[in-house]
Amino acid sequence: KAGVTQTPRYLIKTRGQQVTLSCSPISGHRSVSWYQQTPGQGLQFLFEYFSETQRNKGNFPGRFSGRQFSNSRSEMNVSTLELGDSALYLCASSLAGRGQVNTEAFFGQGTRLTVV
């Protein structure tokens, strides 16, 4: 079974630009979540999607957005990039569904975003 795939693996963008990251979950997983990892703030939850609906959202500004498609693939977008957005962005998929908890999350290798 293929794991969680994130593309691209590395990205360099200029301040003020926008960026779109992609995540393909494990087949059969309908929950996709996104995390930002930085040396200063650690791993922080961005948002989670299930069946094309955002179920949970972290404390990030509106510049961070996401969506999920009918095949469960997900994208996240960051607009008006700032230097502080430089981070490793991780995507995870799981079987967590409506009323279903206690499921492990499987993570992709991440996208390393550098904003210059």
Partner 1 sequence: SQQGEEDPQALSIQEGENATMNCSYKTSINNLQWYRQNSGRGLVHLILIRSNEREKHSGRLRVTLDTSKKSSSLLITASRAADTASYFCATEYYNQGGKLIFGQGTELSVKP
| Closest distance of CB 39 from partner 1, Å | 9
DSSP string for residues in 44-112:
EEEEEEETTEEEEE-S--TTEEEEE-TTS-EEEEE-S--GGG-EEEEEEEE---TT------EE---EE
Residue closer to partner 1, measured from CB, 60 or 79: 60
Choice between 16 and 61, CB closer to partner 1:
61
- Rule CB under 8 A: choose which of 23, 50, 74, 113 binds partner 1: 50
Residue 28: both structure tokens together:
């059969």
Q: Which is nearer to partner 1, 28 or 99 (CB)?
A: 99
Angular region, 105: left φ>0, alpha ψ -120 to 50, beta rest:
beta
The footprint of partner 1 (CB under 8 A) covers 4, 31, 33, 35, 37, 42-45, 48, 50, 55-56, 58, 88, 90, 92, 94, 96-97, 99-110, 112
